[in-house]
Amino acid sequence: MRRALLAVIAVGTLLTGAACDSDAKSSDAAAAPATSATPSATPEPDYSANTQLVCGNLQKLYSAELKDFGAALGKMITYKEAKQAAEAKKAENAATAKLKAVATKIRTDTATAEDPEFMAAGQTSAAKVDASVTDRKYITKIKSMKDLNSTIEAQFTEWLSPVAGYCAPS
């Protein structure tokens, strides 16, 4: 009984397929408008693997460029507290040079993003960092380690928020 049922299903499937196939051959003109009237939805591109790779590269910011930036700010604070203005200014300039490297890394890493929105977010983030290299108002607020922690946390949020949504754990 099972074989008979499978045979009926197989024959029915073949006949249905043959009927559709013969209709398509006999009325190609009628079939063309029907297919063009139904727009085919193209699937969204999957950027996840590339985004993960770019985010992995951006994570290296924390262990290299931002660490160097923080160390330079630490030196600046030490010199400010010791009332060594010339050395403090040198350390500030070194810190902003490190910050410029951060902007370059963000720009370079996100330029390889396949997701155009992620790429644009990277450019926005890099531009914010670049603006802070030029406008050093946040640095003038830093006079102690306590000032550093509160000031720099807000700056990191401002600088990195455009790309943070793409690199947040899901």
Provide the pLDDT for residue 79: 95
Report CA 49 to chain centroid distance, whole Å. Answer: 11
Q: Which CATH entry fits the domain spanning 49-165: 3.40.50, 1.20.144, 1.20.120, 3.40.1130?
A: 1.20.120
Provide the pLDDT for residue 103: 96
pLDDT in tens, 87-121: 999 999 999 999 999 999 999 999 999 999 999 99
pLDDT category at 161 given cuts 50, 70, 90 is very high
- How far, in Å, are 19, 37, 59, 105, 132 from residue 159 at the CA level? 63, 47, 14, 13, 9
pLDDT in tens, 118-136: 999 999 999 999 999 999 9
pLDDT in tens, 48-79: 999 999 999 999 887 788 899 999 999 999 99
Percent helix, strand and coil across the chain, each to the nearest 5: 80, 0, 20
Domain segments of the chain as ranges: 49-165
Of 142, 170, 146, residue with least CA distance to 72: 142
| Cα-Cα-Cα-Cα dihedral sign, residues 128, 157, 148, 105 | negative
What is the CB neighbour count within 10 angstroms for residue 126?
Answer: 23
